[in-house]
């Protein structure tokens, strides 16, 4: 049927025979796309008297928003914390490869490093839209170096820093620039952290609490000053204690400012968090759960020795340790694997599992008006999945950027 081209000459694509994740449930509707955006078919029919130029049969697939990974340290041999001459080609490789995991946007994450590394790498990271070249870059996640020595995890102790008299200036001097920074993870018990949290929040940067020995009141104070995220809940923080639950207590705190939601990242790889702990967190605060991979350079590679910033790590199956120790150091899990494990461990619905990797990270970053949903006028970044939540195809701005090889299905 011919389209009415009075509004736009761009072709209209109608995805049929699918179940769309919209308003927290899978609905049997068609998905309409034009110029990289989700289209409202009622406006198309009644205002424009238009119709589809192309119809695609989705063969009863689930269509869900693309996954957003806000904590990924690298993959496929690329380490985002290593300053190399070909850093840009490395980030391009990872952004291309993670399309097959259903990731359409991500925050390249740098672990604790010397200032010279930040000064070299951060100018090479730029926010950009996704496409056939790879997933979109939302900005960097800087995890450290303003973290606790006691809970440093895989972060090198000699690179850790504290806030001195000019706290925010210390941070600026360390990083060099905040132009492309989306998230900063810090330990809120550090002296002068409150003023740093306020300054970062003022600049629209998400502050995350992690690698910390903070008690609950210190964590609540950080949230009152603007912090909105917890970096890999349960990992690299004080364990839950009934008299002072620490950062974990934020999930049920009654001191969160009105209208504010605290989000928390979880590495749902079956290694970092026992399924029972995953269930406890999810049942306590389901709308705050954000799935992250915390993937390192060894993701997608054979077991053996790889890097994580300044450290050498060993991969043994799904376990990743600092070489010669039993200290966990990131994961080699892919985002689609984390989604499936989360659903299996918690018994949650497919909708809930998918939103933990799409809607929630978008809400955390304040971009849910364009990412993380299939609402009208949002970006047409979406996935086709089967009922077992295996990704069959990935679309960015309405264009197919990856499809499962039929022979491999």
42-61 pLDDT tens trace: 988 788 777 899 999 999 99
The number of distinct structural domains making up the chain is 2
The answer on whether 232 is annotated among ligand-binding residues is yes
The confidence score (pLDDT) of residue 51 equals 86
Tell whether the model's pLDDT for residue 1 goes beyond 70: no
Q: Is residue 408 part of a domain?
A: no
Same domain, 195 and 303: yes
The answer on whether 24 is annotated among ligand-binding residues is no
Same domain, 304 and 383: no
User: What is the average per-residue pLDDT within 218-227?
Assistant: 98
User: What is the average per-residue pLDDT within 241-255?
Assistant: 97
HSE-CB for 328 with a 13 A CA cutoff: 20
Tell whether the model's pLDDT for residue 21 goes beyond 70: yes
The answer on whether 211 is annotated among ligand-binding residues is yes
The confidence score (pLDDT) of residue 407 equals 56
Please give the biggest Cα pair distance in the chain: 69
Same domain, 320 and 349: yes
CB of 66 within 8 A of CB of 105?
yes
The CA distances from residue 122 to 78, 108, 125, 139, 306, in Å, are: 15, 10, 5, 10, 22
User: What is the average per-residue pLDDT within 204-214?
Assistant: 98
Same domain, 335 and 352: yes
Same domain, 272 and 295: yes
Name residue 137's beta-bridge partners: 106, 128
Task: Quote the CA–CA distance of 302 and 37 in Å, as a whole number.
Answer: 38
Beta carbons within 8 Å of 109's beta carbon, 6+ residues apart:
71, 72, 73, 80, 140, 141, 142, 143, 294
Q: Could you report the per-residue pLDDT of 342-372, keeping only the tens digit for each? A: 999 999 999 999 999 999 999 999 999 999 9
Q: How many CB atoms lie under 10 A from the CB of residue 397?
A: 18
Same domain, 53 and 21: yes
Tell whether the model's pLDDT for residue 7 goes beyond 70: no
Tokens standing for residue 88 = 């840009």
Q: Predicted confidence band at 317 (pLDDT cuts at 50, 70, 90)?
A: confident
Task: Quote the CA–CA distance of 180 and 177 in Å, as a whole number.
Answer: 8
Same domain, 265 and 345: yes
Task: Quote the CA–CA distance of 13 and 398 in Å, as a whole number.
Answer: 8
Task: Quote the CA–CA distance of 330 and 321 in Å, as a whole number.
Answer: 8
Same domain, 304 and 385: no
Q: Between residues 183 and 326, which one has the greater pLDDT?
A: 183
Q: Predicted confidence band at 236 (pLDDT cuts at 50, 70, 90)?
A: very high
The answer on whether 144 is annotated among ligand-binding residues is no
The answer on whether 323 is annotated among ligand-binding residues is no
Least confident span in 118-132, 264-278, 311-325: 311-325
Q: Predicted confidence band at 2 (pLDDT cuts at 50, 70, 90)?
A: very low
The answer on whether 167 is annotated among ligand-binding residues is no
The answer on whether 236 is annotated among ligand-binding residues is yes
Q: How many CB atoms lie under 10 A from the CB of residue 234?
A: 21
Task: Judge residue 6's burial from the number of C-beta atoms within 10 Å of its C-beta, 0-12 exposed, 13-18 middle, 19 or more buried.
Answer: exposed
The confidence score (pLDDT) of residue 219 equals 98
Same domain, 274 and 386: no
User: What is the average per-residue pLDDT within 238-251?
Assistant: 96
Which residue in the block uniquely carries the two structure tokens 């900063």?
184
The confidence score (pLDDT) of residue 262 equals 98
User: Helices in 176-270 by DSSP H: which ranges?
Assistant: 193-202, 216-224
Beta carbons within 8 Å of 175's beta carbon, 6+ residues apart:
115, 118, 119, 122, 142, 181
Tell whether the model's pLDDT for residue 116 goes beyond 90: yes
Same domain, 60 and 72: no
The confidence score (pLDDT) of residue 50 equals 79
Domain residues for the domain of 72 are 66-365
- The CATH number that applies at residue 24 is 2.30.40.10
Q: Is residue 3 part of a domain?
A: no
Catalytic center residues: 294
The confidence score (pLDDT) of residue 4 equals 44
Which uninterrupted H or E stretch holds 119? Answer: helix 115-121
User: What is the average per-residue pLDDT within 300-313?
Assistant: 92
Q: What percentage of the chain exceeds 90 in pLDDT? A: 90
The answer on whether 154 is annotated among ligand-binding residues is yes
The answer on whether 329 is annotated among ligand-binding residues is yes
Q: Is residue 262 part of a domain?
A: yes
pTM (two decimals): 0.96
User: What is the average per-residue pLDDT within 123-151?
Assistant: 97
The CA distances from residue 336 to 21, 103, 353, 386, in Å, are: 16, 8, 10, 12
């Amino acid at each position: 049927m011919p389209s009415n081209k009075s509004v736009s000459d761009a072709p209209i694509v109608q995805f049929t025979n699918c179940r769309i994740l919209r308003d927290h449930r899978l609905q049997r509707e068609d998905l309409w796309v034009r110029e990289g955006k989700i289209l409202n078919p009622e406006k198309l029919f009644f205002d424009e008297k238009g119709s589809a130029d192309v119809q695609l049969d989705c063969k009863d697939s689930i269509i869900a928003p693309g996954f957003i990974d806000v904590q990924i340290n690298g993959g496929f041999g690329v380490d985002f914390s290593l300053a190399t001459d070909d850093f840009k080609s490395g980030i391009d490789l990872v952004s291309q490869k993670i399309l097959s995991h259903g990731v359409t946007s991500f925050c390249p994450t740098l672990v604790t490093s010397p200032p010279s590394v930040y000064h070299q790498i951060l100018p090479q990271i730029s926010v950009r839209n996704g496409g056939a070249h790879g997933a979109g870059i939302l900005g960097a996640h800087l995890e450290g170096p303003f973290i606790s020595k006691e809970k440093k995890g895989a972060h090198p102790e000699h690179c850790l820093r504290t806030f001195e008299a000019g706290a925010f200036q210390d941070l600026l001097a360390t990083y060099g620039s905040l132009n492309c920074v989306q998230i900063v993870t810090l330990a809120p018990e550090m002296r002068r952290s409150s003023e740093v949290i306020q300054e970062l929040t003022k600049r629209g940067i998400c502050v995350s609490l992690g690698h910390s020995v903070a008690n609950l009141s210190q964590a609540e104070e950080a949230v009152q000053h603007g912090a909105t995220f917890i970096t890999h809940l349960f990992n690299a923080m004080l364990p839950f204690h009934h008299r002072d639950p620490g950062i974990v207590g934020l999930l049920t705190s009654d001191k969160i400012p009105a209208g504010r939601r605290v989000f928390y990242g979880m590495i749902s790889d079956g290694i970092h968090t026992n399924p029972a702990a995953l269930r406890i967190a999810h049942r306590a605060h389901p709308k705050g759960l954000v799935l992250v991979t915390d993937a390192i350079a060894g993701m997608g590679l054979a077991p053996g020795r790889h890097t994580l910033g300044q450290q050498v790590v060993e991969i043994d199956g799904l376990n990743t340790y600092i070489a010669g120790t039993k200290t966990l150091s990131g994961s080699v899990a892919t985002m689609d694997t984390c989604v499936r494990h989360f659903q299996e461990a918690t018994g949650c619905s497919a909708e809930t599992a998918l939103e933990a990797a799409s809607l929630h990270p978008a809400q955390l970053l304040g971009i849910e008006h364009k990412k993380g949903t299939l609402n009208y006028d949002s970006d047409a970044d979406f996935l086709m999945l089967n009922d077992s939540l295996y990704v069959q195809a990935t679309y960015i701005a309405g264009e197919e950027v990856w499809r499962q090889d039929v022979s491999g299905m």
